[in-house]
Amino acid sequence: MNYRHAFHAGNHADVLKHLVLCRLFALLARKDAPYAYLDSHAGVGLYDLQGDQASRTGEWREGIGRLWEATDAPEPLLDYLEVIRAMNPDGVLRHYPGSPELARLQTREQDRLHLNEKHPDDGQALKENMAGDRRVAVHLGEGWHLPRALLPTREKRAVMLIDPPFEKADELERCVTALNEAIGRMRQTIVAIWYPIKDERQLKRFYRDMEKSAAPKLLRAELFVHPADEAGRLNGSGLLISNPPWGLEEELRALLPWLAERLAQSQGSWRLDWLIAEQQP
């Protein structure tokens, strides 16, 4: 994929990733106990959809651009849309939150954020964008080291987003390793792994490896905007979520069909199932 993320900000893959994050935050907020949010490949945190990079691709027009004025959005989508509308109070869609800003706005006073960005320029921009929020720590190291460096957290609950650029051939394998490390160090961690859907043969190996992972349970949520029959394009994207909170599966069953219809570019579809089902006692 063409990374840096500003080229893709607000596209259909961002919509899926960010609305799931919003639902995780909302479901965790049902309990007062604090949690930590960890972001392995955070980016800069804020994006200008009318800026040079986003304008070159215009991918956001086929993503958040299609949802911006939706009046029939399912209830679980509203938190996500309200954040974006609040960032654009004049009614013109220009500013879009990356996962760091979304997390900063949706978490509570008692929660903590650890944001990691390896790219030096993006890391500095992330620090500037997060300045002034004492709950946020910005790290400038290797994102794959985050599970070993920061888990277990002092909070009893943790959410980790693993969202690499997928510039290198081994990154799906590294996602498996990172999940195993996270679960090995803090078993109850909610790990959300984002991945592009392009080459199905490669993904089948990824799924098999994930089925053998240490996750106690693992939910797969995928959104397609094209049929998955052309390896050279972004046909859709998915999230694997370890230890999803109760209620998330039900919400996604309501959200994904609506999104597949709204965001389809040639043919939309969706999938929601368990790669690792919860073991019954």
**Whole-angstrom distance, CA of residue 77 vs CA of residue 254:** 10
> How many Cβ atoms are within 10 Å of 221's Cβ, its own excluded?
23
Average pLDDT of 96-125?
Answer: 95
Q: How far apart are CA 104 and CA 249, in angstroms?
A: 24
Whether the per-residue pLDDT at 3 is higher than 90: the answer is no
Q: For position 4, what pLDDT does the model report?
A: 61
pLDDT at 256 over 70: yes
Q: How confident is the model at residue 69 (pLDDT cuts 50, 70, 90)?
A: confident
The answer to whether the Cα torsion of 165, 52, 77, 226 is positive or negative is: negative
How would you classify the pairing of strands 35-39 and 136-139?
A: unpaired
Q: Is 117 labelled as part of a ligand binding site? A: yes
pLDDT at site 91: 92
pLDDT band, residue 280 (cuts 50/70/90) = low
Q: Encode pLDDT of 214-236 as tens digits.
A: 999 999 999 999 998 888 899 99
Please tell me whether 99 is known to bind a ligand. yes
Query: Which residue segments constitute the domains of the chain, with CATH numbers given?
Result: 16-44+106-274 (3.40.50.150)
**E strands, the chain, where?**
35-39, 46-48, 95-97, 112-116, 136-139, 157-162, 190-197, 218-224, 236-242, 269-276
Q: Is the pLDDT of residue 276 over 50?
A: yes
- For the whole model, what pTM was predicted? 0.95
Catalytic-residue membership of 39: no
At 1 the pLDDT is: 39
Give residue 85's pLDDT: 95
| Residue 18 assigned ligand-binding role | yes
Q: Say whether pLDDT at 58 is over 50.
A: yes
Of the candidates 52, 122, 163, 273, the residue annotated as catalytic is 163
Q: Is 41 annotated as a binding residue?
A: yes
For the cut 90, the answer to whether the pLDDT of residue 151 exceeds it is yes
Does position 5 have pLDDT exceeding 80, yes or no? no
Within 10 A of 192 (CB to CB), how many other CB atoms are there?
Answer: 22
101 pLDDT higher than 50: yes
Q: Is 101 annotated as a binding residue?
A: no
Closest by Cα among 100, 94, 98, 134 to 115: 100
Question: Range with the lowest mean pLDDT among 128-137, 174-183, 198-207?
Answer: 198-207
> In angstroms, rounded to a whole number, what is the distance separating the alpha carbons of residues 44 and 100?
8
Does pLDDT of 75 surpass 90?
Answer: yes
Is 19 a residue whose pLDDT tops 90? yes
Mean of pLDDT values over 14-28 = 98
Burial degree of 139 (CB within 10 A; 0-12, 13-18, 19+)? buried
